[in-house]
Amino acid sequence: MKKTLFILLVLVSNILLGQIPRQNDMIAYFPFNGNANDESTNSNNGTILNNGASLTADRFGVANSAYQFSGAAGGGINIGSNINLSGSYTISAYARLDTDGDFTNFRSVLFGHGTTSTNRGLHVVFGPTVGIRYGHYNNDYDVGIKDNASYYTIWRHYVFVYDGSNDSRKVYIDGQEVTSTDTYSNVDYAGTGNFIIGNHPWGSNQRWDGKIDDFIIWDVPLSNSEIAQLYQNSFRNPSKVNTDITNGLLLHLDAGNPSSYSGSGNTWNDLSSSGNNVLSTNKD
């Protein structure tokens, strides 16, 4: 029975993680399941700056599974300086601004990296004159809707792709590429330094005021089909996916979910409907 239960738990976990393409190429993965830890193999764990982010419900209404960014000066989540984006990269996130005013007043920096030198600072900011500005500092690419602030106040899936083989950039919203007549210089991105979710690393009044979830970075450019796959899989509530596996589940323990494990002590709460809470013991 113990072996069967263990295999079932591992199988469910692998199915949910298996919805993400190119896992071997991930630099960082932040599902924000109760914390800002990197759940890739690279340990680029996040540090909350200036009380600028707190846990909140995600797009499915699951508590403590996304971060609310307050727009505080110097706020955001710093994931460190080991994020190497030279060559190519893909950055994916679910996000929503709190109000129309956040878009109108540029309280809308989704993330930033590097420094304030041309092609050495990566930033994405939303606003009425730019739509979505996808910049390699002083080398910007503007795409998206500019005249409808409420478009950005609902949960949407955003993906930003840089292909170093030709220095091209692409933006995807909800699985579809968004194009623009705007132009930019095809020059290598060479930024280094801190990467901050919800703010610029160099400081600004344009930090994010809203929610962000499922933040992922790869060191390769994902293809159109991979991005469509990512959106289709992540759009669905994980609790409603693979019901043929999870129906009849006897035990669901999750170390990353404070509703299951507080982080201390030896009591684990069962997240399935079976009520099989666990008291762990040490055994030599």
pLDDT per residue over 192-233, tens digit each?
999 999 998 886 667 999 999 999 999 999 999 999 999 998
Give the chain's domain count. 2
- How many Å apart are CA 197 and CA 158, to the nearest integer? 14
Nearest alpha-carbon partner for 189 in 142, 120, 141, 114: 120
pLDDT for position 15 = 38
- How many Å apart are CA 86 and CA 189, to the nearest integer? 6
Q: Is the pLDDT of residue 126 over 80?
A: yes
Instruction: Give every CB contact of residue 174 below 8 A, 6+ residues apart in sequence.
Output: 156, 157, 231, 235
Return the bridge partners of 173, or none. 158, 176
Q: For the residues 262-284, what does the mean pLDDT come to?
A: 72
Shared-domain flag, residues 119 and 197? yes
Structural domain of 254 = 2-9+241-278
Shared-domain flag, residues 191 and 255? no
pLDDT for position 2 = 39
Burial class (CB in 10 A: 0-12, 13-18, 19+), 66: buried
pLDDT for position 12 = 38
Shared-domain flag, residues 183 and 266? no
Q: Which amino acid is at 45?
A: N
Shared-domain flag, residues 66 and 131? yes
Residue 280 pLDDT level (bands cut at 50, 70, 90): low
Shared-domain flag, residues 100 and 84? yes
Instruction: Give every CB contact of residue 51 below 8 A, 6+ residues apart in sequence.
Output: 70, 72, 75
Instruction: Give every CB contact of residue 187 below 8 A, 6+ residues apart in sequence.
Output: 119, 136, 139, 167
pLDDT for position 17 = 55
pLDDT for position 14 = 40
Q: For the residues 145-154, what does the mean pLDDT come to?
A: 96
The helix/strand/coil state of 103 is helix
Neighbours of 191 (CB within 10 A): 22
pLDDT for position 204 = 61
Shared-domain flag, residues 249 and 210? no
Burial class (CB in 10 A: 0-12, 13-18, 19+), 261: buried
Quote the DSSP letter at residue 147: S
- How many Å apart are CA 95 and CA 213, to the nearest integer? 6
Task: Indicate the average pLDDT of the chain.
Answer: 86
Shared-domain flag, residues 171 and 201? yes
Does residue 16 sit within a domain? no
Shared-domain flag, residues 156 and 39? yes
Does residue 182 sit within a domain? yes
pLDDT for position 25 = 96
Does residue 178 sit within a domain? yes
User: pTM for the complete prediction?
Assistant: 0.80
Q: Is the pLDDT of residue 238 over 50?
A: yes
| CATH (domain of 116) | 2.60.120.200
Residue 3 pLDDT level (bands cut at 50, 70, 90): very low
Does residue 17 sit within a domain? no
Summarize pLDDT for 35-73 with one digit per residue, the tens: 999 999 999 999 999 999 999 999 999 999 999 999 888
Nearest alpha-carbon partner for 263 in 4, 31, 64: 64
Does residue 14 sit within a domain? no
Q: For the residues 4-31, what does the mean pLDDT come to?
A: 66
Shared-domain flag, residues 198 and 263? no
The helix/strand/coil state of 5 is helix
Shared-domain flag, residues 197 and 274? no
Residue 262 pLDDT level (bands cut at 50, 70, 90): confident
Does residue 266 sit within a domain? yes
Does residue 81 sit within a domain? yes
Neighbours of 108 (CB within 10 A): 26
**Apex 26 CA angle, 20 and 29, nearest 5:** 70
Which tokens is 45 given? 């764990």
Shared-domain flag, residues 118 and 175? yes
Return the bridge partners of 113, or none. 122, 195
Return the bridge partners of 66, or none. 56
Does residue 283 sit within a domain? no
Q: With pLDDT > 70 as the criterion, what percentage of the chain qualifies?
A: 83
Shared-domain flag, residues 246 and 150? no
Q: For the residues 76-104, what does the mean pLDDT come to?
A: 96
Count, residues in the chain:
284
